[in-house]
Amino acid sequence: MVKKIKTEFVLKGIPAAPGIAIGSAFLMDQQDFIVPERAITEGEVLVEIARFEEAVSDTRREIQGIKEKITAQVGAIDAQIFDAHLLVLEDCMLIDEVKKRIKSDKCSAESVFSKILKHYVGVFKKIEDAYIKERSADVEDVGRRVLKHLMGETRIHDFEQLSGEIVIVAHDISPSDAVTMYNKRIRGFVTDIGGRTAHTAIIAKSLGVPAVLGLKDATLRISNQDNIIIDGRKGVVIINPTEATLALYISEQAKIALYEGSLANTQDMPSETKDGRRIVLTANFEMDGEMPAVKKYRAEGIGLYRTEFFYMNRLDLPTEEEQYRAYRKIAEGIAPHSVVIRTLDLGGDKFISSIQLPREMVPFLGSRAIRLCLEEPEIFRTQLRAILRASAHGNVAMMYPMIAGPGELRAANSILLGVKQRLREKGIPFNENMPVGVMIEVPSAAMTADLLAKECNFFSIGTNDLIQYTLAVDRANEKMAQFYEPGHPAVLRLIRRTISAAHDANIKVSVCGEMASDPTLAVILLGLGLDSFSMSPSSIPVIKRALSRIRFSDAQELARQALRLSTGAEVEEFMVTELTRLVPELYNYNGEIQ
Amino acid sequence: MPKIEKTIIVKSKQGLHARPAAMFVQLANKYTSDVTIRKSGEEVNGKSIMGILMIGADCGSELTMIADGDDAEKMLAELEAYLGKED
């Protein structure tokens, strides 16, 4: 046997989550298996049918098992996708057709099954309907599992069965894949598509592992079980590293571990600048499983609670009671700090089965977030009732996403008033003074911040969308990544405008986008007078340390000067130079702020 | 037991997609009778989510339901009430 010698090669992508990971490649096989056509004799028909039935019942057991595990680990809501999978698996038409065709075509169970499956998926994919498109992915997923059972291969996506540390290599990671990713064995992510703010980046950050995205054809160039190094700071992926490369990265990893160890003592450090200005650092939050990290990094509350996950991967809408219980649990868990619940932010790149959205040419400019809620007031009211009821049990605030100006804010607030009135009439307790905020993520909202400030209690700047809308750059499009400039003068000016309008009206401003977790940009935000920073919990120590080493007065001066520059690149260069001069100890680890 | 046929117009704005399709299948599966859905000459099993989605019935589509079995009448009454519901 000839042993294939693997040579080292390097791929460059978009750095989406920092850190270094070394592990074995795990290709999330999104492609169909090659299923050989196998003819059978009349006598084998019953055997093939029995094999098929066994594979279906094995798959059902497997899905039930995963569902129970996810329910226990992450929560019932995240496990609901598997109900859709079971519905496909128990589909009488599919099952009967397979059995009939095994008999009539005299072909093996796997070849008949895969042909029928392909036919359905092909038809579903042609139907212009978001729900059916999503179902076709369910059908494919279930199909792959059944085929694995029929063909006697190892199971798919069962990370528990793997030994050693793995790196997920995928074309893309969907929100429903993501819920299965809370596993200690997963050391990093590499994907073909996506940029810094893609869902995969958020998952990676919440797991505290590196991610390099937008590699275009990584899934074609990397094979299963290849050794891989991911450098999430530089956006580099090294495949089949030589001994020397490996040794280099192992020592880098040790340095990072040392550095992270030194961050551990930031947990009990007061959160303030060198000259004593208080900084509030809060957490972005999505799923129950993240609460331990929120506590571990001493977040002073949850600055952004994304509620979309409630609505995803299920056929029906979440009930008021279900939402109320979940919100209350988080509110009680985070008390005495506050939780800011963002109302439903669907549309754009997030779709669900239970609400059918019309197909739009540019979904990010279409019926998204608050617009969708205003179009579907019953869905909105249900969520508002749940949030208000939860407000009786902790420190709950709420904010609307994608407000484009005072008109939408008033429309949303008038629905809120109606819901409050109804609760009052029924004697259901809630906090009459629950703070209501506006997300500033559309340039028109930033431009009308002075007007919005009169009609709400706080602002939260969603920098990811604000950058995308201001610069007209699709943030999920890796080809546009070079134009996605957080330090662009237009973005900084809109942020400055928003903060000063808020402070003129005596309300607080937070940033809950990626910008808050970039130490260099966070210094600018501090200098502009930002009141609080919300980020994935694992970013808190780095930002806390960076901001504690600088004087507020210096940050103010740097921000003033940075705002006079002409490009994002100039801003970045200026900040790095100045910070190196002012706080030399900030940059003693490979250019990364300490 | 003779087969019973009933032709109706889908009233739900979402048509027989998404949640309504899943609900329809769940309702149909409460009964022991078989149910077939016919739309423009195409017939599918009414207890199959795949089948229902394949025929792609929009709001305003004309469907014929053919039920066969002991509780066919009760089943059709419930399915008809469900499909005829405006939302």
**pLDDT for the residue A1:** 38
Backbone region of residue A565 per phi and psi (left: phi > 0; alpha: psi in -120 to 50; beta: other values): beta
Asked if A315 lies within 8 A of B22 by C-beta distance, the reply is: yes
Which of A206, A223, A248 terminates a domain? The answer is A248
C-alpha span between A326 and A334 (Å, rounded):
12
**pLDDT for the residue A234:** 87
**pLDDT for the residue A64:** 86
Residue A549, amino acid = R
Asked if B48 lies within 8 A of A356 by C-beta distance, the reply is: no
Chain A residues in contact with chain B using a Cβ-Cβ cutoff of 8 Å:
87-88, 91-94, 96, 120, 123-124, 127, 129, 131-132, 135, 139, 315-316, 353-354, 356
**pLDDT for the residue A30:** 46
**pLDDT for the residue A350:** 67
Can you give A157-191 as a three-state secondary structure string? CCHHHCCCCEEEEECCCCHHHHCCCCCCCEEEEEE
User: Mutation test of the interface with chain A: which of B12, B13, B16, B19, choosing the one with the most A Cβ atoms within 10 A?
Assistant: B19
**pLDDT for the residue A422:** 96
Written out in words, the top-level CATH class of the domain with range B4-84 is alpha beta
Using a CB-CB cut-off of 8 Å, the residues of chain A touching B56 are 127, 129, 132
Chain B residues in contact with chain A using a Cβ-Cβ cutoff of 8 Å:
14, 17-19, 22, 25, 44-45, 47-51, 53-54, 56
Q: In what order do the strands lie in the sheet with B4-9?
A: B4-9, B62-68, B34-39, B42-45
Of A93, A139, A353, the CB nearest to B51: A93
Q: Are A573 and A543 found together in one domain?
A: yes
Q: Are A313 and A76 in contact (CB under 8 A)?
A: no
**pLDDT for the residue B87:** 60
Of B17, B18, B48, the CB nearest to A91: B48
C-alpha span between A401 and A235 (Å, rounded):
30
A45-73 and A130-151 are packed helices; what angle lies between their axes, rounded to 10 degrees? Answer: 120
> Whose structure tokens read 């029906």?
A316
User: Mutation test of the interface with chain B: which of A80, A92, A134, A136, choosing the one with the most B Cβ atoms within 10 A?
Assistant: A92
- The nearest alpha carbon in chain B to A85 belongs to B49
Kindly compute the dihedral angle of the four CA atoms of residues A265, A270, A273, A276, in this order, to the nearest 10 degrees: -150
User: Mutation test of the interface with chain B: which of A86, A351, A356, choosing the one with the most B Cβ atoms within 10 A?
Assistant: A356
Among candidate residues B64, B20, B67, the one with its CA nearest the CA of residue B43: B64
Of B17, B22, B50, the CB nearest to A120: B50
Q: Are B65 and B45 in contact (CB under 8 A)?
A: no
C-alpha span between A389 and A320 (Å, rounded):
10
Token pair recorded at residue A443: 């340039």
**pLDDT for the residue A590:** 43
Q: Are A276 and A301 found together in one domain?
A: yes
Q: Are A19 and A74 found together in one domain?
A: no
Burial environment of residue A83 by CB neighbours within 10 A (0 to 12, 13 to 18, 19 or more): middle
Upper half-sphere CA count for residue A329 (Cβ side, 13 Å):
11
- The nearest alpha carbon in chain B to A136 belongs to B50
Q: Which of B6, B8, B11, B17 is catalytic?
A: B17
C-alpha span between A449 and A405 (Å, rounded):
8
Q: Are A199 and A282 found together in one domain?
A: no
Residue A2 inside a domain? The answer is: no
Asked if B51 lies within 8 A of A123 by C-beta distance, the reply is: no
Residue A37 inside a domain? The answer is: no
Residue A340 inside a domain? The answer is: yes
Q: Are A219 and A289 found together in one domain?
A: no
Q: Are A208 and A274 found together in one domain?
A: no
Residue A156 inside a domain? The answer is: no
Domain containing residue A206: CATH number? 3.50.30.10
Asked if B44 lies within 8 A of A93 by C-beta distance, the reply is: yes
User: Mutation test of the interface with chain A: which of B35, B52, B53, choosing the one with the most A Cβ atoms within 10 A?
Assistant: B53
Q: Are A394 and A530 found together in one domain?
A: yes
Q: Are A137 and A169 found together in one domain?
A: no
Beta strands B42-45 and B4-9 are unpaired
Number of domains within chain A:
3
Of B19, B25, B48, the CB nearest to A94: B48
C-alpha span between A371 and B49 (Å, rounded):
31
Residue ranges in chain A modelled with pLDDT below 70:
1-5, 29-36, 73-81, 129-131, 133-134, 152-163, 174-180, 182, 195-199, 313-315, 348-359, 585-594
Upper half-sphere CA count for residue A388 (Cβ side, 13 Å):
22
Q: What is the complex's ipTM, to 2 decimals?
A: 0.71
In sequence order, what are the beta bridge partners of A400? A438
Token pair recorded at residue B72: 């066919």
Q: Are A129 and A223 found together in one domain?
A: no
3-state SS, residue A299: coil
Of B17, B22, B45, the CB nearest to A93: B45
Q: Are A57 and A18 found together in one domain?
A: no
Long-range pairs of A417-426 with CB within 8 A, sequence gap ≥ 24: A418/A381, A419/A381, A419/A384, A419/A385, A419/A388, A420/A388, A422/A385, A423/A385, A423/A388, A423/A389
Residue B17: active-site member: yes
Residue A411 inside a domain? The answer is: yes
Residue A391 inside a domain? The answer is: yes
What single DSSP character describes residue A29? Answer: -
Domain containing residue A47: CATH number? 1.10.274.10
Q: Are A512 and A432 found together in one domain?
A: yes
C-alpha span between B8 and B59 (Å, rounded):
11
Domain containing residue A583: CATH number? 3.20.20.60
Residues 6+ apart with CB under 8 A from B17: A129, A131, A132, A356, B53, B56, B57, B58
Verify cis geometry, omega within 30 degrees of 0, for the bond prior to A336.
Answer: yes
**pLDDT for the residue B22:** 75
What is the span of the domain harbouring residue A51? 42-151
Asked if B56 lies within 8 A of A94 by C-beta distance, the reply is: no
Asked if A88 lies within 8 A of B49 by C-beta distance, the reply is: yes
- Closest-CA distance, A354 to chain B, in angstroms, reads 6
Residue A158 inside a domain? The answer is: no
Asked if A354 lies within 8 A of B18 by C-beta distance, the reply is: yes
Using a CB-CB cut-off of 8 Å, the residues of chain A touching B51 are 91, 93
Q: Are A438 and A517 found together in one domain?
A: yes
C-alpha span between A19 and A166 (Å, rounded):
15
Using a CB-CB cut-off of 8 Å, the residues of chain B touching A96 are 45
